[in-house]
Structure 1
Amino acid sequence: MADAPSAATKPAAHPQGLSMIEKRRIEAEILKHVYDELKASQGIEVAKRTIGEAVRRSAVEQAGRFAAQSPEGTSLQAFIDMQSLWTQGGALEVEVVGQTSDTYAFNVTRCRYSEMYKDMGLGEIGHLLSCQRDGTFCEGYDKKLKLDRTQTIMQGASHCDFRFRYETGKSG
């Protein structure tokens, strides 16, 4: 019988060999049933609030693992270097609109995450399963990293406008 992992063993920030969109699909397959049960027993508002809070906490925790495993520590560039995890396999089509030492701006013109959640019958909570993760990821990764976004494809816009800034003058 194998030994249980020690308390010092930390899970990987993201499993190798699994695309982020596939990871999100697996999570959504489970959360769909939780959401349906909560809707039936507690009502739609409680169901949405519960799913939203659970996903928010998960995003912060996962971001903390990414930060802890960043060899050079957290920074805007380290964050940008991770973007391929979310775009892998065409999951997102991205147009970079600007980048400086402390800002990174891009538009997502196609979001297969949105398409996937809608195909799974989860369009009404797709923003909770995916979009809300973006800002809360910043909280767990580095409190100096901030996201401003005014629209998302998931909620009907033509594109998502991601505007990240890294507040280097503030302590994290």
Structure 2
Amino acid sequence: MDDHKDDELGILARRRIEAAIIAPVYDEMRKAVGENKARDILRRAIRRAAIDAGTEMASRAAGGADLESFKAILPLWTKDDALTIEVIDDKPGVLDFNVRRCRYAETYRAMGLGEIGEILSCNRDGAFCEGYDPRIKLTRTQTIMGGASHCDFRYRADPPQKT
């Protein structure tokens, strides 16, 4: 592992910087094309970026991308106390956890971007999996960003294809 990895900017800090750049662009899009169209454009752009990020991260997964290597990179999202996670189940092909505190949600709300926080953050989670390994499926029925007490992440992985 590279020694400089600990010096890398955490994802929470990156999201804060991205949001500061996106906010005025989003505001101009709303004025130009309306709220619904602006939200749709932003949702599609963030989703595409998340898929691309998943693909890029998968290319660096030692031994290949799968749910087990995905579990190993989870600390990237929790760095800097960004998420407080309660693991419910962790076994081959399964990862279930609840997020009890989400500083991503707190950050977007503090920036006045709570109304698009779901697009900027939650929208990425399943899309990232698509790029990382399409066999990984995320089910989530609620989020802190949406007003729930916790986010319920439930990951399942289809078994590898027989060749």
The TM-score normalised by the length of structure 1 is 0.88
Question: How far off its partner does 1:89 sit?
Answer: 1.2
The farther-off stretch of 95-104 and 15-24 is: 15-24
* Secondary structure class of the residue paired with 2:48: helix
> Which one of the candidate residues 84, 87, 98 is aligned to 2:89?
98
* Secondary structure class of the residue paired with 1:48: helix
Q: Flag the structure with more relative contact order, 1 or 2, with Cα contacts below 8 A and sequence separation at least 6.
A: 2
1:137 corresponds to 2:128? yes
Cα distance in 2 for residues equivalent to 1:116 and 1:63: 23
* Secondary structure class of the residue paired with 1:93: strand
Q: What residue in structure 1 maps to residue 156 of structure 2? A: 165
Question: How far off its partner does 1:16 sit?
Answer: 5.4
Question: How far off its partner does 1:34 sit?
Answer: 1.0
5 Å-filtered alignment, 1:144-155, equals 144-155=135-146
> Which one of the candidate residues 87, 102, 107 is aligned to 1:111?
102
Question: How far off its partner does 1:104 sit?
Answer: 0.3
How many residue pairs match? The answer is 158
For residue 64 of structure 2, what is the amino acid of its counterpart? G
* Secondary structure class of the residue paired with 2:8: coil
* Secondary structure class of the residue paired with 1:77: helix
Structure 1: unaligned runs, 5 residues or longer: 1-13
Cα distance in 2 for residues equivalent to 1:72 and 1:117: 35
Q: Is the 8 A contact 1:144 1:170 kept in 2?
A: no
Q: What residue in structure 2 maps to residue 89 of structure 1? A: 80
Cα distance in 1 for residues equivalent to 2:43 and 2:66: 27
For residue 115 of structure 1, what is the amino acid of its counterpart? E
Question: How far off its partner does 1:83 sit?
Answer: 0.5
Structure 2: unaligned runs, 5 residues or longer: none
The TM-score normalised by the length of structure 2 is 0.93
Q: Is the 8 A contact 1:144 1:166 kept in 2?
A: yes
Question: Percent identity over the alignment?
Answer: 46
Of Structure 1 and Structure 2, the greater helix share is in: 2
Q: What residue in structure 2 maps to residue 21 of structure 1? A: 12
The structure-2 alpha-carbon separation of the partners of 1:125 and 1:89, relative to structure 1 and needing over 3 Å to count, comes to same
Q: What residue in structure 1 maps to residue 21 of structure 2? A: 30
